[in-house]
Structure 1
Amino acid sequence: MTKKSVIVSTDERPEAPRRRRRKEARPAEIIAAGMQEFALRGFAGTRLEDVARRAGIAKGTIYLYFEDKESLFMAAVRERVGPAILEVAGFVDGFPGPTRDLLRLVIPVLHERLVQSDLHTILRIMIGEGSTFPGLTALYYRETVLRGRELLERIVARGRARGEIREGAAADLPLVIMAPAIMSAIWQMTFMHEAPIPPERFLAAHLDLITEGLLVPDAGR
């Protein structure tokens, strides 16, 4: 009997790599769908079946990548906050110039990540639902707030060592450097329809407040 040769269509060959690419991209797709649901319903109101429906997958597929809704939320936090922290850390570690110029690099990044992205959804959940989910708040603090505090403390310590930072309460609590950015995010979430203030105005005021209030006069000019 003559053996028949099996011909594989060239149209079918790319299917496996395509499926593999799809599988590799799926966690990011689930996180994006989760963020949309969190923005719409809050943390308590979000259901994984709704996330799955929005992502176009079966609910069980989510559990291949995330243990539960909390782990999905924290993955969203890491995806959005982690790159910003790494970017700022890179500035702090390698910047040779004065603290004034360093802050003028760092603060716009903080505004871009916190105010002009969907990260404000996470901030709203922390403010509105954090007391209901203290475990989530603790994780968020360790994963993001603590790392951010450490970076701000490094910036201020660097400025103090160079004689560029005013001694006082603000220098003793570098966390307050973030306050105007948080104010901008809250404003966009709450009062923007009543009294529109463009994010760039908050950024300009933030830079002015920090560089003229925290720094020694003429330091690094």
Structure 2
Amino acid sequence: MPTPRFFADKICPVRAKRERRKEARPGELLAAALDLFVEKGFAATRAEEVAARAGVSKGTLFLYFPSKEELFKAVVVENLGGRFAEWNDEFEAFEGTTADMLRYCMRVWWERVGMTKASGLTKLMMSEGTNFPELAEFYRKEVVRPGHTLLRRILQRGIDRGEFAPVDVDHAIYAVVAPMVFLMLWKHSAMVCVDEETSLDPEKYLATQAETVLYGLTRPQGAAA
């Protein structure tokens, strides 16, 4: 039997379309904000520009996000911070070696974040974080700390299983973070980090960096535990 919503849509298609549009608005605003924050930076982006790009009024934007700061926080959670539950579930379910897990982690990071516009949020925070300490702390809480915690779990898994040599995990995670940060700077800085005569394949670069890290972590054959 058709639902009441079905009859409402048939009777008043304009109202039904308006309601569906209203439901989609937060996502449209977040997408527009991500585009502008990455293109112009946080300070230079104006709320009315975000609203215009999303096709709504400035007042409508503030119905969903009371300030530009809250809008930025929502963009960070939507594109980065909110994904750690999924990534931790993948960690729990992974059945291969820890070396393969680390390779997978770096490759998937590029596919899901590094090659997308969301990677520009990291460059933005690196360049503007000192001017907006509250946002910088929010970014550390939602992105940096969960990311480092996940990397610690990966490295500690390898150590506990005897696959990796015992290392200072708190510092070893930066050996994994560094090539990711480099790629984000390369992508969002007109690629000036690389000689224009040299072609950089991000996937090959990360695969090479993963092997470099792993050869430094893997316990040599026959070495004492």
TM class by shorter-chain length? 0.7 to 0.9
Aligned to 1:204: 207
Q: Which amino acid aligns with 1:173?
A: H
Gaps of 5+ in 2: 1-6
For the 8 Å contact 1:152–1:174, the answer to whether it is kept is: no
1:54-98: CA deviations, max 9, x gaps? 111010001111121111111111111135423321221122222
| 1:22–1:187 distance in 2 versus 1, CA, 3 Å | same
Aligned to 1:5: none
> More displaced, 157-166 or 48-57?
157-166
The correspondence of residues 43-58 of structure 1 with structure 2, limited to 5 A, is 43-58=42-57
1:170-212: CA deviations, max 9, x gaps? x342431221111111122235265341212222222212332
TM-score, length of structure 1 as denominator length: 0.86
Q: Which amino acid aligns with 1:207?
A: A
**Separation in 2 of the partners of 1:83 and 1:202?**
27
| 1:160–1:44 distance in 2 versus 1, CA, 3 Å | same
Q: Which amino acid aligns with 1:144?
A: V
Aligned to 1:74: 73
TM-score, length of structure 2 as denominator length: 0.84
Aligned to 1:173: 171
* Aligned residue among 215, 219, 222 for 1:216: 219
Gaps of 5+ in 1: 1-7
Q: Which amino acid aligns with 1:96?
A: E
Number of residues paired by the alignment?
A: 211
Q: Which amino acid aligns with 2:75?
A: A
**Separation in 2 of the partners of 1:183 and 1:147?**
20
- More helix per residue: 2
Q: Report % sequence identity.
A: 38
Equivalent position SS for 1:93: helix
Return structure 1 stretches of 4+ with deviation > 4 angstroms: 8-12
Structural RMSD (CA): 2.3
| 1:9–1:50 distance in 2 versus 1, CA, 3 Å | closer
**Separation in 2 of the partners of 1:79 and 1:30?**
11
Aligned to 1:159: 158
Aligned to 1:4: none
For the 8 Å contact 1:43–1:125, the answer to whether it is kept is: yes
> More displaced, 70-79 or 88-97?
88-97
Per the TM alignment, residue 129 of structure 1 is displaced from its structure 2 partner at its CA by 0.6
Per the TM alignment, residue 10 of structure 1 is displaced from its structure 2 partner at its CA by 7.9
Aligned to 1:37: 36
